[in-house]
Amino acid sequence: MPISTRLKPNLYKDSVALMRIAEQLLQDPQIIRATLVMATPANKEILEEAGLLNGAAGAAYPSDLIIVVEASSQAAADAAFEKVDASLSRAAIQTSGSTAEAAPRSLSMGLPRLAHANIAQISAPGAYAGAEALKAVKAGLNVFLFSDNVPLEQEVAVKRLAQAKGLLVMGPDCGTAIIGGVPLGFANVVRRGRIGYVGASGTGLQEVTAQTHLLGEGISHAIGTGGRDVKAEVGGITLLMALDLLEADPATEVIGIVSKPPAPAVMNAVIERAGRAGKPVVVCFLGGERIGAPANVHQTVNLYDCAAACVALARRQPPVASKFAPGKSAQGFAATQKYIRGLFSGGTFCTEAQVALRDTGVSAWSNVPLSQASALPDPRHSQEHTLLDLGDDDFTVGKPHPMIDPSTRVARIAVEAADPATAVILLDVVLGYAGHPDPAGALVPAILKAQTGAQAQGRRVVFVAFVCGTEEDPQVRSEQEARLLDAGCLLGRSSTEAARMAVALVAA
Amino acid sequence: MPISTRLKPNLYKDSVALMRIAEQLLQDPQIIRATLVMATPANKEILEEAGLLNGAAGAAYPSDLIIVVEASSQAAADAAFEKVDASLSRAAIQTSGSTAEAAPRSLSMGLPRLAHANIAQISAPGAYAGAEALKAVKAGLNVFLFSDNVPLEQEVAVKRLAQAKGLLVMGPDCGTAIIGGVPLGFANVVRRGRIGYVGASGTGLQEVTAQTHLLGEGISHAIGTGGRDVKAEVGGITLLMALDLLEADPATEVIGIVSKPPAPAVMNAVIERAGRAGKPVVVCFLGGERIGAPANVHQTVNLYDCAAACVALARRQPPVASKFAPGKSAQGFAATQKYIRGLFSGGTFCTEAQVALRDTGVSAWSNVPLSQASALPDPRHSQEHTLLDLGDDDFTVGKPHPMIDPSTRVARIAVEAADPATAVILLDVVLGYAGHPDPAGALVPAILKAQTGAQAQGRRVVFVAFVCGTEEDPQVRSEQEARLLDAGCLLGRSSTEAARMAVALVAA
């Protein structure tokens, strides 16, 4: 297949725009490969490894655009280059807008047009980004610096100058921020609210803001610092300034901090600053140890726990303790352990699990079987894979339904866990009016006891559960899920998913 | 330990109230066992098996209440009986209310006080419940019949009379309904909205209403029918009337039906009725086969899919197809398959997964290691358990970030799946502004190809994924999750949960 190369001297396009154009070209089945890159030394090296670097491209400058197309015919390649030209000129038109006015190409061109601008978002190759950030700070702007590969000494210089001027520099390599509801960089759509985050971690900040939203609360501000902010050289300048801002912000009732463990001196400064914030502060130093912390500072071990603790504190509830002690080591099933035992309070969930097992080629006995061939002879005794509806008449004579009274299920969990053939115990937890006020909590002691008992006999019983209900239910979905997770259960999103997970475990 | 028994002649309390009293007694550590039951033959049998039935209790009538307490001392037992008396009299006071007027003890006593009542909720022992329902229907009331153990011929008689009078009988054994926003029986707190459900399945109805709420839509009405309504003897009287009501209801834009597969004649009648409803109808006959259905009738195989299809149709979107073909049979890992390979687009998620593995005693190599001891020598080659941040500089020179450009991850999925040592591939999918418009969809072809390729070589590669983002994100969390589930992935709720699931799989 012919490989053709074109060069566009002095035409800078960012890598995302170039990827989009390449994707368009590849929709034509006649195009085998299509690559558009700036002719930086690194990119030229990659092209060379792929055998795509010809003489002209090899001599190109970093400010030149290289286009390489492998097509089934020269005509197809030519058509591709025409498409590239059209895309590039369309992009230029879009950039310049429909007015006659030229698009601003620098900070000094753009600033006079936006008199009230107070923040600059900078996305440029790392070698230039630091200088742009410095210009912005000198012009009195806060900075969101998306670019990476900015030299550390430039970061320190820009941040120190900004600090002296009372300006915030988020980044370099700052992936995410939400300032007063405005998303910068990668950011999720979350409601506004009373929890403010600061993060030296882009996706970490995305996750805590998204989980906060999923848990029903909202975000005042989410301030990114860039990952190196917590290094000793930078000293946490941005993180500490962000804490000042969140403390002063009346909309922020709880502050969350997400970061890898900072350098020791930075850690001390952050904890000391958090201790006198006058608001509850939740910290998550991913991978770090438990540290001594003032009373208002709550430490968590993962992102979900961090968000959940912030939500609980905002609601004036005690946050669930985040577990620092290393968990039990992952032990395999003993040779005898082969089967799934489902103990359901909802009859439909028992049926749904049977369908899910059947659809993966696994048959299960049941007291409410899909067909008579799989009817469990004696509901009091499980055999092979068994899925039980504990709300069926076999189990409810003279007793309340298991959605109200956990005693039948508690007793049966002990029986199944003691059976050397049991590998996985599958549970539903149904919330809502008229049900048990804490159905997960009612099962947890039995779950813990079952795990300990099996372990003492050299076995490992895995619990897989799922919750039916909403955040608004009296029992609160997320709180019930947290109890199950805390007891070491794996959680499925639905009865079908929990059953699939159980099958994957016993198949493995 | 002494066992003491007391009898309360002619004092009926339902089993839930009695359970609550027993729970209170058991909070005293001196109380070993506490049982309060009506002296029905079935309950007396249970007491006898437990060795708790003494002479006086043995002679009791079904209308008598038996209280049995095992305590560490007679004094403790006496104190318990005093508590029981106090609870029972308190309950009596609460029932009679604070006014001088006597509480109504029958339908005929109660009706005159509620002139506009149009529904009776009946919860009584099955032997009497049918007669109560008949009285209610004769008095012109719709009925929510919570009780079970109502004889089938009574159900038929009550429903036929009600049908003739244009009244709805939900039940017997009807666990759930939400009528015009009012919950009856077990029901979840869900927002009101444009999706109406009818279900011959109590927890099934709870699950589709809760999932609808979780997906951001709401419920017009949720009408329970009782599980036997779809039997040939009853003929789906209530289900068909419910479809009439939901068709006529202007607030209902989409109708969902949840049931075990009805008897053939009932199935035909339901499908025919649904076909001329003039609205989209989603059916989920749990455990049934695909059936011929009119164009407006969309068939699904599980409760989550049913809710998701209703939500999609309400939003004028095409629902994701629900899979009827039995899935692949669950195959075990080959002997070579031992390791987790994590391919992350979010650096923090890679760190979080390392922490999760470490906390279960599993160490992993990484290009962004928790400590230098676990630094992966060559990021291009995984070894043992390996967790990679594909957004790190090693992988992004001259390329967009993997949250935008999936190509690096797509290529690496193929590499890891081809490695006979790989058991589980762990993925994050990050949503939000600036990210890929369909990050899960961009990975799915690679996931499917990896599974097929491994299978051809007698191996099974399990994909475990999780999504960071919200329902409001441009990519829509539930839609991205649906794509991953559809491709056979197991889903964790967070990076930590996904990592725990991966550990459980390789440990098994």
The DSSP annotation for B296-315 comes to: TEEEESSHHHHHHHHHHHHT
SS3 A397: coil
Q: Are B347 and B468 in contact (CB under 8 A)?
A: no
Rounded to a whole number of angstroms, the distance from the CA of B432 to the nearest CA of chain A is 4
Rounded to a whole number of angstroms, the distance from the CA of A7 to the nearest CA of chain B is 17
Give A401-456 pLDDT, tens digit per residue.
Answer: 899 899 999 999 999 999 999 999 999 999 998 889 999 999 999 999 999 999 89
The pLDDT of residue B13 = 80
**Listing from the earlier edge strand, what are the strands of the sheet with B31-38?**
B3-8, B65-71, B31-38
Check if B198 contacts A (Cβ < 8 Å): no
The DSSP annotation for A462-484 comes to: EEEEEEES-TTSTT-HHHHHHHH
Alpha carbon A349 to its chain centroid, in Å, reads 29
Mean pLDDT of A382-400: 88
Give B341-351 pLDDT, tens digit per residue.
Answer: 999 999 899 99
Mean pLDDT of A469-485: 89
Give A198-210 pLDDT, tens digit per residue.
Answer: 999 888 999 999 9
Size (chain A), residues: 508
Conformational region of residue B235, where left means phi above 0, alpha means psi within -120 to 50, and beta covers everything else: left
Q: Is the peptide bond before A172 cis (omega within 30 degrees of 0)?
A: yes
Is A504 in contact with B43 (Cβ distance < 8 A)? no
Q: Which residue of A has its CA nearest to B485?
A: A497
Rounded to a whole number of angstroms, the distance from the CA of B164 to the nearest CA of chain A is 30
Please count the other Cβ atoms lying within 10 Å of the Cβ belonging to residue A23: 12
Q: Chain A 265-284, CB below 8 Å of chain B: which residues?
A: none
Say if residue A330's pLDDT is above 80. Answer: no
Is A397 in contact with B46 (Cβ distance < 8 A)? yes
Instruction: Name the token pair of A255.
Output: 């502050």
Residue B231 carries which DSSP code? S
Whose tokens are 């709870």? That residue is B206
- Give the orientation angle of helix A237-248 with respect to helix A152-164, to 10 degrees: 30
Q: What are phi and psi for residue A483, nearest 5 degrees?
A: -60, -40
- For residues B501 and A344, what is the distance between their CA atoms, to the nearest angstrom? 22
pTM: 0.75
Q: If you average pLDDT over every residue of chain A, what do you get? A: 89
Instruction: Name the token pair of A16.
Output: 């995302």
Reduced DSSP (H G I as helix, E B as strand, rest coil) percent helix, strand, coil of chain A, to 5: 40, 20, 40
Q: Where are the domains of chain B?
A: 3-96, 174-314, 339-507
- Give the orientation angle of helix B237-248 with respect to helix B152-164, to 10 degrees: 30
Is A188 in contact with B433 (Cβ distance < 8 A)? yes
Say if residue A175's pLDDT is above 90. Answer: no
Check if A494 contacts B (Cβ < 8 Å): yes
Please state, for a pLDDT cut of 70, what percent of chain A lies above it.
Answer: 95
Q: Exposed, middle or buried, A216 (CB in 10 Å: 0-12/13-18/19+)?
A: middle
Mean pLDDT of A18-24: 85
ipTM, interface predicted TM-score of the complex = 0.77
Give B462-500 pLDDT, tens digit per residue.
Answer: 999 999 998 889 998 888 998 998 898 999 888 888 998
Q: Are A470 and B216 in contact (CB under 8 A)?
A: no
Is A42 in contact with B397 (Cβ distance < 8 A)? yes
Highest mean pLDDT among A112-126, A337-351, A483-497, B112-126: A337-351
Give the list of residues 6+ apart from residue B223 with CB closer than 8 angstroms, or none. B168, B170, B177, B179, B196, B197, B198, B199, B238, B242, B245, B246
The parts of chain B modelled with pLDDT lower than 50 are 93-100
The pLDDT of residue B126 = 80
Residue B2 β-bridge partners: none
Whose tokens are 């164009």? That residue is B295
Q: Are A398 and A407 in contact (CB under 8 A)?
A: no
Give the list of residues 6+ apart from residue A98 with CB closer than 8 angstroms, or none. none
- Of B237, B252, B245, B52, nearest to B159 by C-alpha is B237
- Give the orientation angle of helix A303-314 with respect to helix B495-507, to 10 degrees: 140
- Of A442, A453, A450, A371, nearest to A402 by C-alpha is A442
- For residues B177 and B194, what is the distance between their CA atoms, to the nearest angstrom? 16
> Does this chain's domain B174-314 share its CATH topology with B339-507?
yes
Instruction: Name the token pair of B231.
Output: 């039997």
Residue A8 carries which DSSP code? E
Q: Chain B 211-240, CB below 8 Å of chain A: which residues?
A: 211, 213-214, 227
The pLDDT of residue A383 = 96
The pLDDT of residue B96 = 44
Check if B187 contacts A (Cβ < 8 Å): yes
Rounded to a whole number of angstroms, the distance from the CA of A100 to the nearest CA of chain B is 28
Across the interface, of B187, B400, B505, the residue whose CB is closest to A432 is B187
Residue B341 β-bridge partners: B386, B425
- For residues A506 and A508, what is the distance between their CA atoms, to the nearest angstrom? 5
The pLDDT of residue B328 = 57
Instruction: Name the token pair of A361.
Output: 């080629």
Residue B445 β-bridge partners: none
Instruction: Name the token pair of A204.
Output: 């970490």
Q: Are A385 and A363 in contact (CB under 8 A)?
A: yes
- For residues A241 and B347, what is the distance between their CA atoms, to the nearest angstrom? 24
Mean pLDDT of A327-343: 83
Query: CATH says A339-507 is which class?
Result: alpha beta
- For residues A103 and A109, what is the distance between their CA atoms, to the nearest angstrom? 9
**Listing from the earlier edge strand, what are the strands of the sheet with A119-122?**
A119-122, A142-145, A169-170
The pLDDT of residue A99 = 46
The DSSP annotation for A249-282 comes to: -TT--EEEEEESPPPHHHHHHHHHHHHTSSS-EE
Q: Are A170 and A143 in contact (CB under 8 A)?
A: yes
The pLDDT of residue A35 = 87
Q: CA torsion, points B387, B391, B397, B403, in degrees to nearest 10? A: 130
Is A504 in contact with B370 (Cβ distance < 8 A)? no
Indicate the CATH number of B174-314 among 3.40.50.261, 2.60.40.10, 3.30.9.30, 3.30.465.10.
Answer: 3.40.50.261
| A contacts of B326 (beta carbons < 8 Å) | 358-361
Longest dimension (CA), chain B: 88
Check if B348 contacts A (Cβ < 8 Å): yes
Alpha carbon A375 to its chain centroid, in Å, reads 43
Q: Chain A 349-408, CB below 8 Å of chain B: which residues?
A: 349, 351-352, 354-356, 358-362, 370, 393, 396-400, 403-405
- For residues B422 and B110, what is the distance between their CA atoms, to the nearest angstrom? 68
Instruction: Name the token pair of B3.
Output: 């066992």
- For residues A168 and A141, what is the distance between their CA atoms, to the nearest angstrom? 8
The residue with greater pLDDT, B353 or A398, is B353
Q: What are phi and psi for residue A122, nearest 5 degrees?
A: -115, 125
Q: Chain A 43-102, CB below 8 Å of chain B: which residues?
A: 43, 46
Query: CATH says A3-96 is which class?
Result: alpha beta
Question: What amino acid occupies position B414?
Answer: A
Across the interface, of B15, B210, B405, the residue whose CB is closest to A468 is B210
Check if A151 contacts B (Cβ < 8 Å): no
Give B96-153 pLDDT, tens digit per residue.
Answer: 444 445 677 777 777 787 878 899 999 888 888 999 999 999 999 999 999 888 999 9
Mean pLDDT of A230-250: 97
- Of A168, A198, A178, A472, nearest to A310 by C-alpha is A198
| B contacts of A46 (beta carbons < 8 Å) | 397-398
The residue with greater pLDDT, A92 or B232, is B232
Q: Are B398 and A43 in contact (CB under 8 A)?
A: yes
Q: Which residue of A has its CA nearest to B401?
A: A16
